[in-house]
Homo-oligomer: A and B are copies of this chain.
């Protein structure tokens, strides 16, 4: 990796920062955040403005360019990568280290008095604007919205915003029609006494209308906004795709519907002016509901007194609780995914000893097996295929420069998943194709104990996921080991592989309580820098539990694994497992045999079936 040379680009950017064509007054600093106008985790190439200006293309980072300086804030996952990808024009600001200033504090320290700091108001979330603006103002500076994105003005070959065809999902996939979702949303709006709801997150628009797209890699979403009133529905979306007959029929665009279900289709770019018109026409007590993470531009369109902001929207919360059709779809998707992985691991077991399988080849092979399954759409994220020391890099993705050959001497970690039309998968298995050391087995077994502790946990209705995080760590902690990431995230139903509002992490506190029908991952790990990485990840469904006393009728919850892929018994030190844990593994493997075995049989995949049966032999605990 050689760094991107940015001298010329920075010169151009500094020129437009003073160019009255783009800025009312010159700005002395310009902020380039990571995200897009929807605060998406995964973004389209046209939104990779921070990567364009700096060369650093990790998933998180904020660039700030002043007349003299160019600085990049990113977190521990990316210190090395950012240092490699950026040239000497850039200063790396290592977030999380004690001496690293915040962006605001740094700006205050370098700016001449009375400076203007510019930012694209569509890209910066309102809550972040508020925080920065406050600090800057108290130091005599101003944060100002710059309407035209200054990066776009100097980005000659900026890719087009994608505008790919839409997929319509019928009731057999979604369980609830878009009309019924609108009805439910309006009832939530009535409860909170709001008249309008603005849908800004891409997965929320997709979920609400039972549509999917492919504008962003890995996430089956499309660029759109929606504004739902008590009697109106406005969908802001571009392209011919709205002329597609199945889409028109799905949305009933050409039927004479009751007025409150008639969808007005409007250009994507008209959201701001339309919302400003809504804002201008509000009578007292008419509130507009927005996510507090919506962009500053859209939030400002509504006068402050009329805004109703919440961290999680009612769509986000409804989307998280999967109905029977979605749950069944997720089950089917996970069975197909397990078939693909049984094929893969059987193949790896034969091929790895030959010394010809690299991390990239293994990842490609996993995709090949998955793509053979019914309703496969694409991967759900970039496959983490890592062996030996690469396994200790938590967000590793093999590239030619780092690509390592799998061997019988190193642990192999595969974290991968796919989008099927009926569900989204995300599974991690850690395998050894030779003989693991006692230490590797010990660490693996602690991780497994943590995985089981969460998966088998019983807890009262209303418990937040973050309260379960320590269960995953207890066995590791007892020996002085830990892992520096959360234990689980919400998973969408043929939607984003990471979604709110629930999860299992020591880092969050504002997560919504778990309830039956929610789907999260359970993925503790252990990482030994320079040596190996271990992670065991299942996607699990929150289900009601049976308990002796049932929390005085408050109700009990537990998890059911949807992922049904064998956990390599070769890696387990059985003597470190309790009887209960041993039984959990054996019952889990029995279920893999029954459910995935039947599907392998049905698909005529006999060799993979033999592999599955061999890998799911019951553990025998020495008493």
Distance of A464 Cα from B469 Cα, bound (Å): 12
Distance of A341 Cα from B551 Cα, bound (Å): 33
A551 and B458 contact, Cβ closer than 8 Å, known pairs A467-B506, A469-B467, A471-B474: no
Q: Which B residues touch A304, using CB under 8 A?
A: 138
Task: Determine whether A478 belongs to the interface, using a CB cutoff of 8 Å to chain B.
Answer: yes
Distance of A570 Cα from B330 Cα, bound (Å): 50
Distance of A478 Cα from B554 Cα, bound (Å): 14
Distance of A547 Cα from B479 Cα, bound (Å): 5
Contact code string A411-449 (vs B, CB < 8 Å = 1, else 0): 000000000000000000000000000000000000000
Distance of A457 Cα from B478 Cα, bound (Å): 8
Contact code string A522-551 (vs B, CB < 8 Å = 1, else 0): 000000000000000000000000011111
Q: Please, which residue of chain B has its CB at the minimum distance from the CB of A462?
A: B482
Distance of A229 Cα from B261 Cα, bound (Å): 66
Instruction: State how many angstroms separate the Cβ of A557 from the closest Cβ of chain B.
Output: 10
Task: Determine whether A459 belongs to the interface, using a CB cutoff of 8 Å to chain B.
Answer: yes
A548 and B468 contact, Cβ closer than 8 Å, known pairs A304-B138, A305-B138: no
Task: Determine whether A584 belongs to the interface, using a CB cutoff of 8 Å to chain B.
Answer: no
Instruction: State how many angstroms separate the Cβ of A507 from the closest Cβ of chain B.
Output: 10
8 Å CB interface, A79-102 against B: none
| Contact call A480/B305, Cβ cutoff below 8 A | no
Task: Determine whether A509 belongs to the interface, using a CB cutoff of 8 Å to chain B.
Answer: yes
Indicate which residue in B138, B478, B550 contacts A547 across the interface (CB closer than 8 Å): B478
Task: Determine whether A477 belongs to the interface, using a CB cutoff of 8 Å to chain B.
Answer: yes
Task: Determine whether A556 belongs to the interface, using a CB cutoff of 8 Å to chain B.
Answer: yes
| Contact call A479/B305, Cβ cutoff below 8 A | no
A477 and B457 contact, Cβ closer than 8 Å, known pairs A138-B304, A470-B471, A551-B482: yes
Q: Which B residues touch A457, using CB under 8 A?
A: 474, 477
| Contact call B470/A482, Cβ cutoff below 8 A | no
Contact code string A554-567 (vs B, CB < 8 Å = 1, else 0): 10100000000000
| Contact call B480/A547, Cβ cutoff below 8 A | yes
Q: Please, which residue of chain B has its CB at the minimum distance from the CB of A557?
A: B477
Task: Determine whether A481 belongs to the interface, using a CB cutoff of 8 Å to chain B.
Answer: yes
Indicate which residue in B477, B548, B549, B554 contacts A459 across the interface (CB closer than 8 Å): B477
Q: Which B residues touch A550, using CB under 8 A?
A: 480
Distance of A458 Cα from B509 Cα, bound (Å): 22
B-binding residues in A (CB < 8 A):
138, 304-305, 457-460, 464, 467-471, 473-474, 477-482, 506, 509, 547-551, 554, 556
- 9 more contacts with CB within 8 A, not counting A457-B477, A479-B549, are A458-B477, A459-B470, A459-B473, A460-B480, A477-B556, A480-B549, A480-B551, A480-B556, A482-B551
